Amino acid sequence: MSSIAIDNISKKFGNFFALKDINFKLKDGEFLCLLGPSGCGKTTLLRVIAGLEEPDTGHIFLNGREITGLHPSKRNFGIVFQSYALFPNMSAYENIAFGLANKKIDKSEIKSRINELISLVNLEHVKHKYPAQLSGGEQQRVALARALVLKPDSLLLDEPLSALDAKVRNKLRREIRETHEKLKITTIMVTHDQEEALTMADRIVVMDKGRIMQIDTPQNIYEFPSNPFVADFIGEINFIKNQNHFKAIRPENININGGQGLAAKINHREFRGSFYRITLFLINEKQLIKVDIPSNKRTDILENNQTVFVDLPAEKIIIYEDNENTFNYINKKTVLSS
Amino acid sequence: MPIFNLNKRKLASDNFFQKLLIYVFFIFLIITIILPLFSLFNKAFNDRSGIFIGFENFFKYFSNPALSQSVKNTFFISATTTIIAVFLALLYVYSISRIQIRWKTFFKYIVLLPLFAPTMLQGISLVYLFGNKGIFTNIGLNINLYGAVGIIISEILYTFPQAYLILLVGFEMTDYRLYEAAETLNASRIKQFFKVTLPSVKYSFISALFVCFSLSFTDFGAPKVVGGDYNVLATDIYKQIVGQQNFSMGAVVGIILLFPAILSFAVDRITTRKQNAIFSSRSVPFRFKREKGDYIFFIYCLIISGLIALLFLVAVFASLVKVWPYDLTLTLAHYNFKTVSSSGIKPYINSIIISLISATLGTILIFLSAYLIEKSRSLKIIRLLSYFFSIIPLALPGLVIGISYIFFFNRLSFNFFGLAIPNIFNFIYGTIIILILSNIIHFYSVPFITANTTLKKIDKEFENVSNSMAVPGSITFLKVTVPLSITAVMENFMYIFVNSMTTVSAVIFLYSSNLKLASIAVVHMEEGGSIAAAASMAVLIVLTNIIARIIYEVILKKVRRKTDVWKKR
């Protein structure tokens, strides 16, 4: 049972801000993802929470108790490292048993706890094998079990799936989520993969350059991105310039038709399996936009250089002011697209 | 919300015990390396009564024609040795790494034989071949052994394996794709040699040149045996200190000896980094092709390895014949050292004991120190300095270590701004402790770098894993780090053992009469004319090292089998 509160955390490396003014609260039993591009500070934040790094300012609270100065071993966090850090010279069983090495626990209880975890992560058939003989997915599960052996209050995962190939990743996403549900354990997971965050998280913390850009549920972040960075980082987005602001809309929400809306010329048509990605050039706004049409809709009428009309439903448009924050970001993108 | 300075709180930093150990090692290195060097410089810049006289001793040295001639002689010897040894080694390595010849394993092992022998052995063998009563001299081939010729030949044999090892690394770290490309462009083998091979090993080549120069510049054993009247710096130091008790002059020579070593050390650091950079993880290992002229290289390797083996076999033969060259009946009499020296076989026993202790203590100390430096999180500056101090011994010739230890540990007190501070370390002087210590420090750097490299390869997060689970660092160290580094640890042990058995340059100044070592016994017996006994002792040293190496390989195989269990996929 643990709620975690992060209060005003900042960390500098020289003149470089790795983390700036990080504030948020986690509910007990929540699954939170820290999501962002490389270098945004998400791993640094996780390590600060874990106690492996010191923040320059700020506090961390666990169930109301301040833990900012505590040694990592006293925070009762289970940590899974990006490299897994499995001990190569120990079997899966021995790796998992490692945390119990010097603890005064009954031998039979040690055995039962480890076997319990081994069956929880489905490693029964390989428990005596060495890491080099395990697949990536199996190694990951050993790392997870090892982190859970001391019955931690919370689980911290540092990009646990980034080393695996796509099919294994999908399977393990579900397994991690299931483990989370079974143990009802508060979990923070770092990832750079937005699909992972969208599928696994109760809430996502989107980060960029050491700052939090938005915290919300996956659905809200996708439908109502609060700033252009989040809009562009998650999924695809179009930014259409309009005097002193930008209209932002997702490609799947735009309709192509024969007469209503903005005039556009078809630039390119790309088959993506379940949908077509159509690139169009808006004639009056003089910029490119992307529109996604499901494959089961008629697209044979869409020929290159054909003039069509695009309809942007008002309820799907998000407005961003053209100010200092958005200026460099969006303008750079729209200039490049045209 | 108050923002207070959290820097005072140490989170995942090391515990008290670990920090204490870091300090202990730091102070250890200062006492065993920095302070003795300090004493050395002190001595060189002071006169016999301890008053500072600046560079006067240096002027005195260089204005003495006999002494400054030594400098010129030493340079000549080293330059000649270097050029010949490195080129011979280059061809040898080329034959092994680029040509498909037979008996490669034999050639690879035989070339390392001189590393198992004290440098006097080459000199002794040469005396038997080319000396006044030598085999070849007797049939009319007089090469004027005693002097530059003898020294140069001995040094070539001494430095050849070292040049070979350095060049071998460069040659092995190669990218076959370059050769493939050259082949498709129709480059002949000679062209490939000059356009592909040489450029890709140029850093190893430079490193080999400097190391050979530095080694032959500072070697003591060979010039002692076959130097005759040809003065070199190494024998000068010996004469000044042991002969004339002129410590200031000895210190001056010691400092002069430092220069090529420091230069070679600096060059080696730069070139090693650059040579490693040439080799990327995408590089493809060399693939051998058979060509017509291959047998020439085989013959070359045969000749070279034959010469190396010959020098060793001559010494063995010399140790077994009654009276050279008159009575050639075989006998083991010369191995009864009691007849020529009162200590008998004791020096040999001493050497084994001291080498074992040096190797054991040294390996543990060095590995622990490397671990603390590499894996700790606190005390960054202390660790950085410790790392730097750990590399300094590479630049210290044994002679310099020996005499600076005399200067530092033999003092009864230190003069610190008028106050006489008693030297608490004086007690180790003349004991077995100072011998073991000088061995450990003399051979410190290579095992240190080996340990450091191995530790760097181990996942950085292991310490964090144990930190987050409240498992003491010592458990992780013993259950994970050491098992993963076991081959490096064993390698280090062998390195220190073998070198401790053969070394003479540091211990010649530090031994006491009841603690003579085998290598010193060789020097003394040769000095006293009992050259057959000297040869026997030298042969004993080599045989011991060979046996040790065989035992090592057997144990290594067993260890490998164990680690293969968890290494193979």
Based on the number of CB atoms within 10 Å of its own CB, is B17 exposed (0-12), middle (13-18) or buried (19 or more)?
exposed
Domain ranges of chain B: 13-47+337-569, 56-331
Contact list in B for residue A87 (CB cut-off 8 A) is 462, 479-480
* Chain A interface includes B478 (CB < 8 A): no
Helix (H) or strand (E) run with residue B74 in it: helix B65-98
d(CA B165, CA B111): 9
Contact list in B for residue A98 (CB cut-off 8 A) is 465-466, 469, 471, 479
d(CA B366, CA B28): 11
Cα A159-A161-A167 angle, rounded to 5 deg:
160
Q: What is the per-residue pLDDT for B416?
A: 65
* Chain B interface includes A104 (CB < 8 A): no
CA distance A72 to chain B (A): 5
Q: Are strands A77-80 and A154-158 parallel, antiparallel or unpaired?
A: parallel
Q: What is the per-residue pLDDT for B263?
A: 84
Per the CB < 8 Å rule, is B3 touching A71? no
Contact B526, B303 (CB under 8 A): no
pLDDT at A19 over 50: yes
Contact list in A for residue B459 (CB cut-off 8 A) is 83, 85
* Chain B interface includes A160 (CB < 8 A): no
Are the folds of B13-47+337-569 and B56-331 the same?
yes
Q: Which of B6, B483, B569 sits opposite A89 (nearest CB)?
A: B483
d(CA B469, CA B260): 50
CATH 1.20.1600.10 fits B56-331, yes or no: no
Q: Please report the DSSP string for A50-90 in residue order.
A: HTSS--SEEEEEETTEE-TT--GGGTTEEEE-TT----TTS
* Chain A interface includes B307 (CB < 8 A): no
Helix (H) or strand (E) run with residue B329 in it: strand B327-330
A21 pLDDT band, cuts 50/70/90, is: very high
Full pLDDT tens readout for chain B, 569 residues: 344 434 434 555 677 888 999 999 999 999 999 999 988 888 888 776 667 787 888 888 888 887 788 889 999 999 999 999 999 999 999 888 888 888 888 998 899 899 999 989 988 999 888 888 787 877 777 778 888 889 999 999 999 999 999 888 888 877 778 888 888 888 887 888 888 888 878 888 888 898 899 899 989 888 988 888 898 988 888 888 888 888 888 888 888 888 888 888 888 778 777 776 666 666 777 777 777 778 888 999 999 999 999 999 999 988 888 887 777 788 888 888 888 888 888 999 999 999 999 999 999 999 999 999 988 888 889 999 999 899 889 888 898 999 999 888 887 777 666 677 777 788 777 789 999 999 999 999 999 988 998 898 888 889 889 888 888 888 889 999 999 999 899 999 999 999 999 999 889 888 888 889 999 999 999 888 888 899 999 999 999 999 999 999 999 999 988 888 888 76
Per the CB < 8 Å rule, is B464 touching A71? no
Q: Which of residues 450-469 of B touch A (CB under 8 A)?
A: 459, 461-462, 464-469
Contact list in B for residue A79 (CB cut-off 8 A) is 464-465, 468
For residue B470, what is the nearest residue in chain A, using CA coordinates? A73
A32 pLDDT band, cuts 50/70/90, is: very high
CA distance A96 to chain B (A): 11
Q: Which of A52, A101, A131 sits opposite B471 (nearest CB)?
A: A101
CA distance A99 to chain B (A): 6
Contact B567, A87 (CB under 8 A): no
Dihedral, CA of residue B283, residue B268, residue B443 and residue B240, to nearest 10: 160
Contact A115, A149 (CB under 8 A): no
CATH 1.10.3720.10 fits B13-47+337-569, yes or no: yes
Contact list in A for residue B562 (CB cut-off 8 A) is none
Q: Are strands A203-208 and A211-216 parallel, antiparallel or unpaired?
A: antiparallel
A336 pLDDT band, cuts 50/70/90, is: very low
- What residues have CB less than 8 Å from A295, skipping those under 6 apart? A271, A273, A274, A275, A276
Cα A6-A12-A17 angle, rounded to 5 deg:
85
Contact list in A for residue B565 (CB cut-off 8 A) is 130
Per the CB < 8 Å rule, is A57 touching B479? no
Report the Cα–Cα distance between both ends of chain A, in Å, rounded. 52
* Chain B interface includes A53 (CB < 8 A): yes
Structural domains of chain A, ranges and CATH numbers in brackets: 4-223 (3.40.50.300), 237-337 (2.40.50.140)
A337 pLDDT band, cuts 50/70/90, is: very low
Residue pLDDT, tens place only, A91-129: 999 999 998 888 888 888 889 999 999 998 889 999 999
- Dihedral of alpha carbons B257, B259, B262, B264, sign: negative
Contact list in A for residue B469 (CB cut-off 8 A) is 73, 98-99, 150
The DSSP code for B46 is B
Q: Which two tokens stand for residue A113?
A: 């706890």
Per the CB < 8 Å rule, is B566 touching A130? yes
Q: What is the per-residue pLDDT for A332?
A: 56
Contact list in A for residue B466 (CB cut-off 8 A) is 98
Contact list in A for residue B1 (CB cut-off 8 A) is 7-8, 59
* Torsion region of A282: left, alpha or beta (phi above 0 gives left; psi -120 to 50 gives alpha): beta
Residue B398 carries which side chain, given as an amino acid letter? G
- Dihedral of alpha carbons B303, B306, B311, B314, sign: negative
Per the CB < 8 Å rule, is A132 touching B479? no
* Chain A interface includes B299 (CB < 8 A): no
* Chain A interface includes B381 (CB < 8 A): no
Q: What is the per-residue pLDDT for A328?
A: 58
Q: Which of A51, A88, A99 sits opposite B484 (nearest CB)?
A: A88
Helix (H) or strand (E) run with residue A23 in it: strand A16-26
CA distance B374 to chain A (A): 17
Q: Please report the DSSP string for A283-334 in residue order.
A: TTTTEEEEEEEETTS--TT--TT-EEEEE--GGG-EEEE-SHHHHHHHHHHH
Per the CB < 8 Å rule, is A83 touching B566? no
* Chain B interface includes A163 (CB < 8 A): no
Contact list in A for residue B10 (CB cut-off 8 A) is 54
